[in-house]
Amino acid sequence: MAISSEISKAVENDAINASIKAAEQVVEQQEAQRKALLLELEQARYEATLFTKRYEAVDPTNRLVAGELEPRWNQALQNLKEVENRLEKMEISQQKIPLPDRKIFLNLANDLSTAWNLPSTDMKVKQKILRLLICEIIARIDNQKSEVILTIHWKGGRHSELRVLKNRTGHHGHSNSAESVEVIAQMSLYFSDKVIATTLNRLGFKTGTGNSWTQSRVRSARNYYGIPVHDPNIATSNPFLTLEKTAEKLQVSNATIRRLIKDKIITAKQVISCAPWLIDKSELEK
């Protein structure tokens, strides 16, 4: 699957970079904590030494002054002991958890790529990664090279281009239009094949053989172009709600939500004309 392969590459590269960055941050944080604790230890030692000298310099017969200094001296010694114990525990914990080197990171990335391509890997996991990585997918046709060009807009601003050969005459019937493929690619992030088929029909698009779109025909086209299926069970990584889900959460009718969208009280978007509305979850917190 074409797009799945691109996602696997992106995850592999990001996994390496994220792991290395995380390791560097851990080292920096540990060093900063250790320096701060050493400064605290230095101050505790100074105060303990200071109160020890003051207490020892007091005339034993002067019970009033000695009675005032002794609790402060004991507290300074206690503080010193606590800081020494904290430093000792920190050094022990850092010794028990050695940071892996770059070679280990690379092995982890390879394992991740292998796991992604296993048939047994849960599609929900792939779908979460898909939503985390991709903003949108735009498709267009290069008739001269008989290719479908898929432009993937990654979160973070990066773009990548993927070329897939169109169906050749005599091999797989007629090709679907670039517009149809673009609709399927963009909507699959948020909607089921059935909803995508309805939208394609509203737009007046036909399949390569001139038929109306159905759920099974969308699925076939999606599988051919390597476009992952939408998983409705994943909600945590999806920042958007459908109009129906929004109405359900606000305990109002669908018509009320449509009116709120029309009056621009709630901001909504459509991934493409005639597609269902999508409402950012943050709109519900206003």
User: Is 188 among the domain residues?
Assistant: yes
User: Is 107 among the domain residues?
Assistant: no
User: Is 164 among the domain residues?
Assistant: yes
pLDDT, residue 38, reads 93
pLDDT, residue 101, reads 67
Residues 80 and 149 in one domain: no
pLDDT, residue 236, reads 47
Name residues whose C-beta falls within 8 Å of residue 164's C-beta, 6 or more positions apart in sequence: 2, 147, 148, 150, 225, 226
User: Is 57 among the domain residues?
Assistant: yes
User: Is 81 among the domain residues?
Assistant: yes
User: Is 113 among the domain residues?
Assistant: no
* Tally of domains within the chain: 3
Residues 201 and 127 in one domain: yes
Residues 128 and 210 in one domain: yes
Determine the structural domain holding residue 49 and report its residue range.
2-102
Q: Which residues of the chain have pLDDT under 50?
A: 168-174, 235-236
At 228, the amino acid letter reads P
On the 0-12 / 13-18 / 19+ scale of CB atoms within 10 A, 107 is exposed
> 177-190 burial, b for 16+ CB within 10 Å, e for fewer?
bbbbbbbbbbbbbb
pLDDT, residue 168, reads 46
Residue that finishes a domain, picked among 50, 70, 102: 102
Residues 211 and 252 in one domain: no
User: Is 201 among the domain residues?
Assistant: yes
pLDDT, residue 106, reads 65
